[in-house]
Amino acid sequence: MKKVIELVGVKKLYRVGEVVTWGLRGVDLNVYEGEFISIMGPSGSGKTTLLNMIGLLDHPTEGKILIDSIDVSKLKSKQLARIRNMKIGFVFQSFNLINRLTVLENIELPLIVRKIPRKERIERVKKALLMAGGDLSWLPKHPNQLSGGQQQRVAIARALVGEPEIILADEPTGNLDRKSAKSVIKTFIDLNRKGQTIIMVTHDPEVANCTQKIYILRDGVIIREEKPVPDKCILQTVK
């Protein structure tokens, strides 16, 4: 099985004046192609910091990050930006959609950066929105005309439109009601069954139990790996 991500002794130090805070204290992690993993831990444990490291949004103070066996710590900003655009799709808790743009315009943004022709962009936007469980009638609308669950599907479509190897999701169900959360998790599971690699940060055990592996992060260190309990997946529980 192909290893798509490898973290070796990754540490992150934040310094504000004389105050020093360790975001990560030495994380080792391997993620293989087609895996759907979740990262759990209490607030302040370093979950988002870890996701930002994997997503090349921040640089480690120490350690190495390899994407497809490439040591990205040695790359320049333009090279990192290209890898992010080509290989990684992001889904955020707050959706991060631009209300002045239509749904179509929001989803096509990663393709504009690649200078893909408009006709091809539109076709890929439609394909991505349908894959995310969305409706093509949303395309001319603005995000604030959609429900939270619908906005998250648009955000997933934006992550998918560039056909990335890896999707990183930071608390993707955190702002959703239970029905919408179930729908979004089902979408992730369907995508994973088609071969998509997904790394998700969540505080919800019922969401984590829908994944293939659970890593517990505490005080900036992965302290253990847990085996998910499928019967406790949010799609199986009744509330």
153's CB contacts (< 8 A; 6+ apart) are 129, 132, 133, 134, 183, 184, 187
Task: Return the closest-CA partner of residue 165 out of 51, 28, 67, 27.
Answer: 67
3 state SS of 157: helix
| Domain boundary assignment for the chain | 34-55+77-232
- 239: pLDDT strictly greater than 80: no
In the predicted model, what is the mean pLDDT of residues 18-41?
95
237 — pLDDT class (breaks 50, 70, 90): confident
pLDDT digit string (tens) for 37-87? 999 999 889 999 999 999 999 989 999 999 999 999 888 889 999 999 899
Computed over every residue of the chain, the mean pLDDT equals 94
- In the chain, % of residues over pLDDT 90: 87
Place of tokens 């997503």: 55
- In the chain, % of residues over pLDDT 70: 99
The structure's pTM equals: 0.93
72-76, 95-99, 160-164, 185-189: lowest mean pLDDT where?
72-76
Report residue 97 CA to chain centroid gap: 15
Question: Contact at 8 Å (CB) between 10 and 64?
Answer: yes
3 state SS of 192: helix
Q: Which CATH superfamily is domain 34-55+77-232 in?
A: P-loop containing nucleotide triphosphate hydrolases (3.40.50.300)
Q: How far is CA 12 from CA 28, 63, 64, 200, 205, in A?
A: 13, 9, 11, 20, 26
Place of tokens 């444990």: 45
